[in-house]
Chain A
């Protein structure tokens, strides 16, 4: 009978394998993503890797599994130097990874068995030309049984749930020799019971002498399942600790480090009556029971880590999501928002997270972008466009927003990220909305442009507009907002006044603590 490599006659005392990464550095154009990072773990242990957004966790793991070959530094297995430059190098050494986006690694119209045994059919066939399907399915079934996963090997992957797909990927990873298994944000899309199931498998693997490296933002989970934790910040190694000997608050302090310089405008908010209100808003998928409100002249922050449901909330509010339950009230009147077109007509504006895909029209000129949401204001008779008025307005906006562009006729694709974002925001200033929703507006924006964007948002509030500011950059939320809702796992878990809280508390709430 076939048995996966790790089940083969293990010696009475399992031999530990120690993995050490020393002084790992890697650069991408303009960014030093990792700066002399050290990382150490061993088999039979589950090791948490944590850090704020952009800390370099995923980059480090991609180095380890051979996805980025151009790093400097050394990797050792049991003190012996190894050279990992390609995914195959890593796999041959028994290092496997399961990425967060499970669908990119699976072939949906093949069966579970074929997907699990993909490595074998692709690279280990040798001179054989004919695939022995009976054997493939038999082997796959045995691997699935060995981790107690109850999925038929002959089922199509396209019919599986998200968590089942994850199980299939784990099964594939251990179908070959697997010493270390990296799980990148595995629990983000999973429900509570699915997460429990995953943890059972992780414990199972641990007992079979596999080292599991666990990347996650969810603090309570890490403390439940992991033995050790490595904390990273801004591409650097901070500290390695034993989980039983540390606390969530200590980890959070290490994650945050020093505070950012004050780059936020100071203002005295003039807060009026409630403008927009949601009652038990839910999108039937990610978010549920969102009750929040925003007042005139107020900036409300939506804090939460990546995957907490902030973007889904913004999209549900703006009519992007098709199926939304619950109510949205504007000045106490129930709104009927089925599409973004309705939302814009009701005075809502959304600056979406994916700037190039959703925020600006990259192939169009600056003029076209500025007028895109308010073209009705630039018309002559019979819907003919008033090009002159359009250009005048665009020039005015370029001036007032400080957009760096050769002319108003430049194509937006050729401008920098910060300038594109100013245009994405400027579009709504021209349209003159009442409620502005910002989803991660500073993503990929340089420091100078960031300050301009904060000033813009503050100015909007001062003019009596209502602002919803969603971001996973907690320092920004603290700096810009008057009141904060914290989201965790698709729900609002806390509401606090900015002056009565701090970044540590926000991070604690956003990681599921309270």
Chain B
């Protein structure tokens, strides 16, 4: 190794690298192409009402996906978000319907339940050192069961018949009901994305989380309190899952069995598609939003083209596989 060769970097910056270009802009180009394609197949696709509809349809996925992004940023993985969303959904609706509580207590209870799950995850992962994927897989089942047990295996809705034969007295607050309606549901999504994006990109805490995600041991030896930030990541992940679950509750006004479960895979897909957006190469909130947009457009457009809903998972899974291929091929 001599001094002159050490100036050179491994990659030369000259020349147009097609793969690099596709890595950075591929997702955005794909979204553009899909819009053109669907619009040409069905002019209704571009109507404002449909575009707003797409945004509304992806909002819960995005909010939960943003939580997953936070757990991914410290090189963790939170699989329990779907169950946490179900739990928050059940708790918040039951607070209204069963216990006739005001809005803030209901929402507070939903958040508290989620934070307890986040704390459990964080403790088992940081202190007991169970690998994140496995621990959150376990909590996913546990919390799914807890939510089911709490609702006694039934849907909670207004005027439901209680075990003693009477009708439930509580009503869902009209204020809470607004959360799941346009424009609030979209605003909540956009604010979540913006807050997490700013948090991760422009603050000390976000920097630390990315550094931990990149190399935990080097971060620790730099004097960064690694465990503290991992705990924070799981608490935040659970918080956003709870927000997602409560927005869902407000949108459907009931607590159905395992209502949050289906959002897990979409949110994971959105977060992983987001890795590559604009060449970030790491989990990021804006990318997760773009990932969710891609999935939303695909779902919406395919439904318009009369592709049956039950075939949708094939498309989503394929898109996820492609996004992962892009990310891991890049790492190679």
Does A339 sit at the interface, judged by CB under 8 A? yes
Contacts of A360 in B (CB 8 A): 218
18 contacting pairs across A/B (C-beta < 8 A) = A318-B221, A340-B220, A340-B221, A345-B223, A357-B215, A358-B218, A359-B218, A360-B218, A361-B215, A362-B215, A362-B218, A373-B224, A383-B204, A385-B203, A404-B6, A414-B11, A415-B9, A449-B6
Assembly CA distance A92 to B220 (angstroms): 47
A343-B215 contact given A375-B208, A414-B11, CB 8 Å threshold:
no
Q: Pick from A30, A363, A431: contact of B215, CB below 8 A.
A: A363
Q: List residues of chain B with CB within 8 A of the CB of A419.
A: 6
| B128 shortest CB reach to chain A, Å | 14
Contacts of B203 in A (CB 8 A): 382-385
Residue positions of B touching A, CB distance < 8 A: 1-3, 5-7, 9-11, 202-205, 207-208, 210-211, 214-215, 217-225
Known: A375-B204, A410-B9, A414-B11. A358 touches B221 (CB 8 A): yes
Q: Is the interface of B mostly helix, strand, loop or mixed?
A: helix
Q: Which residues from A are CB-within-8-Å of B221?
A: 318, 320, 340, 350, 352, 358-359
Q: B211 is contacted by which of A352, A361, A413 (Cβ under 8 Å)?
A: A361
Given contact pairs A364-B211, A375-B204, A406-B9, A339 touches B218 in the complex (Cβ within 8 A): no
A427 at the binding interface (Cβ < 8 Å): yes
A405–B8 Cα gap in the complex (Å)? 8
**Residue from the list A372, A427, A448 in contact with B3, Cβ < 8 A:** A448
Across the interface, B220 reaches (CB within 8 A) one of A320, A382, A431, namely A320
Given A363-B214, A446-B1: A339 touches B10 (CB 8 Å cut-off):
no
The answer to whether A111 has its CB under 8 Å from any CB of chain B is no
The answer to whether A385 touches B204 (Cβ under 8 A) is yes
**Closest CB pairs A-B (n = 7):** A344-B223, A416-B6, A414-B9, A446-B1, A383-B204, A372-B222, A341-B225
How far is the CB of A341 from the nearest CB of chain B, in Å?
4
Residue from the list A320, A372, A417 in contact with B224, Cβ < 8 A = A372
Residues on A with C-beta less than 8 A from B9 are 406, 410, 414-415
Please name all residues of chain A whose beta carbon is closer than 8 Å to the beta carbon of B6 when the two chains form the complex: 404, 415-416, 418-419, 446, 449
A411-425 Cβ-contact flags toward B at 8 Å (1 or 0): 001111111000000
What is the CB-to-nearest-CB distance from A447 to chain B, in angstroms, rounded to a whole number? 9
- B217 lies within 8 A of A358 (CB): yes
A384 and B202 in contact, given A30-B1, A414-B10 (Cβ under 8 angstroms): yes
Complex interface: chain A residues within 8 A of B2 (CB): 446, 448
Nearest CB of A to B71, in Å: 19
Complex: how many Å from CA A384 to CA B201?
9
Interface size class on chain A is 35 or more
A416 touches B5 (CB 8 A): yes
A379 at the interface (CB under 8 A from B): yes
Report if A376 contacts B (CB, 8 A): yes
Chain B residue with the shortest CB-CB distance to A406: B9
- How far is it, in angstroms, between the C-alpha of A416 and the C-alpha of B210 when the chains are bound? 23
For the complex, give the distance between the alpha carbons of A431 and B224 in Å: 12
Contact with B along A376-417 (1 / 0, CB 8 A): 100100111100000000000000000011100010011111
- 8 extra A-B contacts, CB within 8 A, seeds A30-B1, A416-B5: A340-B220, A363-B214, A373-B223, A379-B204, A385-B202, A405-B7, A413-B10, A418-B6
CA distance A75 to B178 in the complex (A): 84
Q: Which of A30, A368, A385, A417 has the most CB of B within 10 A?
A: A385
Contact B1 A418, beta carbon cutoff 8 Å:
yes
Complex Cα–Cα for A323 and B12 (A): 47
A264 CB → nearest B CB, Å: 19
On whether the beta carbons of B222 and A373 are closer than 8 Å, the reply is yes
Among residues of B, the one whose C-beta sits closest to the C-beta of A445 is B1
Please indicate the chain B residues that have their CB under 8 angstroms from the CB of A446 in the complex: 1-3, 6
C-alpha spacing A213/B207, complex, angstroms: 51
User: Closest approach, in angstroms, between the C-beta of A77 and any C-beta of chain B?
Assistant: 39
Q: Does A417 contact B1, Cβ atoms closer than 8 Å? A: yes
Give B1 Cβ to nearest chain A Cβ, in Å. Answer: 4
Tell me the minimal C-beta distance from A442 to chain B in angstroms: 12
Residue among B3, B10, B210, B220 having the largest count of chain A Cβ atoms under 10 Å: B3
**Chain B contacts for A431, CB-based, 8 A:** 223
**B214/A339 in contact, CB under 8 A:** no
